[in-house]
Structure 1
Amino acid sequence: MSSLVKLAFGDSVGQLVCCVSPPSDGKTAGASKAGKLSRKDYRRHLQALEEEKKKRDEDFARKKVERAAMRSHLRQKYQLGQNETDTRQLKAVKGRVDLPEDLAAIVNVGRTAGTAPRLLGAFPGLPETNLTELTNTAQAAINQLRQTTERQCALM
């Protein structure tokens, strides 16, 4: 039977069969010392794995709080309601979250240091305008139209 299988599939089956069947000299495959660790090495390996897991968990928690702070800042910027989950996460770290510079730049787009948010700050394409000047110009235009209509219309 094995010769028929070897003819059909070639040497690959022979390699597979040698891995599945026990060695012919009577020794078991797991008995070799090449892959074994001593207890001391095994403990060191477990300790290193625990430290890596702890570091990954700390990084994950830090990033999670940074994201919550980012969402909170954006909600405040756009005057949206606050999220309870984000509030709890920020309270857990007692509000000591430093946003990375690139994230802080996203939040503070349209604001300069020391200035309050503007009414027209949501429209960055509009040029800087003085609202009093704008109302004065509009009032002058209305007065001019009123005067021209009074001159042209005899009933007014």
Structure 2
Amino acid sequence: MPTQEEPVQFTPAYGSIYNVAGGDPTTDSNVDFDTVGPFSGTTPSTVDDSITVNSQGVYTVTFTIELRASSAGTSSNIIFRLSINGTPLATKQIEYQTFVAGAMNEVDVVSRTDQIALNQGDVIRVAIVSSTGLITYDNAALVVTKVA
């Protein structure tokens, strides 16, 4: 007689951190987050601007941020990289570059989503790799969701 396989148990894990107030980006630091969103199976921290995953698996990691460039007649550039355990990943990068004409402000929202195999205890952050010109950020969000 055939036996029925036991269903695979999947426990959802997710977490999010946000920053509405924003700030001035500093090269070789992390994006500053000040609000913890919903979470289960992860440990979000506004103290060190991170989300730690509490179980191994494949996770969807999404980073979104609003950027404002306001230096008329100059170019502005900023590079963010997803960081795992303190190591910024060159293949998980957002680069924003703009030239502000006249007295106008340039405001844009940039975002990146990746699926990444993570181990229990891995710490996710968003590193600011470089920043030139006059750029500020607001409405940053880092969201981590276990999918497998």
**Taking structure 2 as the reference length, what is the TM-score of the superposition?**
0.22
The structure in which a higher percent of residues are strand is 2
Report the TM-score, using the length of structure 1 for normalisation.
0.22
Q: Greater helix share, 1 or 2? A: 1
Structure number with higher relative contact order (C-alpha < 8 Å, ≥ 6 residues apart): 2
